[in-house]
Amino acid sequence: MQYILAVFRSRNETLYFLNMFQKRGIRAEIINTPKEVGQACGISVKFREANLSLAQSFLQVKPFRSFFGFFKVTKRGYQNVLRRIL
């Protein structure tokens, strides 16, 4: 199983980013940010990899100053493997 996390340093911007998905009827959800990510507000937006280009376009529309990056998460057994992609 793979998915993408959008990580921010601001809870408010995290929720705003989630709202941008929801307004378009695209499934996304809030999850706790994995500790491996490092500096973040504690919550992240989880969405399907197929929606990555849409998520990147959100960054063009609104300048999220607290944006930390996108991370691809791959589940391997009981472990999550994270790789920064932007």
Rounded average pLDDT over 36-60: 93
Which alpha helices (DSSP H) does 1-86 contain, by range? 11-23, 52-61
Instruction: Report pLDDT for 86.
Output: 66
The HSE-up count of residue 41 (CA atoms within 13 Å, CB side) is 19
Task: Report the pLDDT averaged over residues 55-60.
Answer: 95
pLDDT at 50 over 90: yes
pLDDT tens for each residue of 6-29? 999 999 999 999 999 999 999 999
Q: Is the pTM of this model over 0.85?
A: yes
Domain limits, the chain: 2-84
d(CA 86, CA 68): 9
CATH class of 2-84: alpha beta
Strands lying side by side in the sheet with 67-76: 28-32, 43-47, 2-8, 67-76, 79-84
- In this prediction, residue 24 carries a pLDDT of 96
